């Protein structure tokens, strides 16, 4: 698996950037925020649930990896889904660096799919829901919402672990 390098410039897009650039830039900012919250957290804190539902920083990385692949690669592009599992929890073999690398690779693959799309209105191959396949615009907006929600969870978990706040 290859690891995508983080985007060096995480400033917001220009005020007059095209729609796809704007959506991907905000999504990439949120993705990097999640990675930053998980970075440097020692074992076992990085895998310890901070809430009764069992959510940990590693679980968020694993979940977001699957969500990226599910929406962009499986649902939109139509590729085979047998490569990832969104239902599995964090195993003893999972490491922070391994899950961060897997997330970066999923993000790189998702961005390839999004960048190859020439029409944000075009529906994808299938849907993860009981609806017709969504457009790339819908997938991008949904992923901004999904990643932002989990970035907020990561903020809270990290603050509980070591008091770190901010990006």
Give CA–CA dist 52/65, Å, rounded: 22
Give CA–CA dist 139/158, Å, rounded: 28
State mean pLDDT over 11-26. 86
Percent of the chain with pLDDT over 90: 80
The residue ranges of every structural domain in the chain are 25-162
* Dihedral sign from CA coordinates of 93, 97, 103, 106: negative
- For 25-162, CATH gives 1.20.120.450
The residues facing 115 across adjacent strands are none
Q: What is the pLDDT of residues 74-90, one digit of tens each?
A: 999 999 875 566 667 89
Q: What is the pLDDT of residues 141-166, one digit of tens each?
A: 999 999 999 999 999 999 999 998 87
Give CA–CA dist 48/131, Å, rounded: 36
With a threshold of 0.85, does the pTM exceed it? yes
Task: Give yes or no for residue 96 having a pLDDT over 80.
Answer: yes
Task: Give yes or no for residue 1 having a pLDDT over 60.
Answer: no
Give CA–CA dist 76/74, Å, rounded: 6
Give CA–CA dist 139/71, Å, rounded: 7
């Amino acid at each position: 698996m290859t690891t995508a390098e983080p985007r060096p410039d995480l400033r917001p897009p220009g005020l007059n950037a095209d729609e796809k650039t704007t959506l991907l830039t905000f999504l990439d900012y949120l993705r990097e925020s999640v990675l930053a919250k998980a970075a440097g957290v020692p074992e076992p804190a990085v895998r310890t649930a901070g809430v009764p539902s069992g959510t940990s920083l590693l679980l968020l990385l694993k979940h977001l990896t699957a969500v990226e692949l599910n929406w962009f690669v499986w649902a939109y592009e139509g590729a085979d889904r047998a490569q990832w599992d969104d239902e599995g929890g964090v195993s003893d073999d999972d490491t922070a660096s391994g899950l961060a690398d897997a997330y970066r690779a999923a993000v790189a693959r998702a961005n390839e799919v999004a960048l190859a799309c020439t029409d944000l209105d075009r529906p994808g191959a299938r849907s993860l829901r009981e609806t017709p396949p969504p457009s790339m615009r819908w997938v991008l907006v949904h992923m901004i919402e999904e990643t932002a929600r989990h970035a907020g969870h990561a903020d809270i978990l990290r603050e509980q672990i070591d008091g770190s706040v901010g990006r």
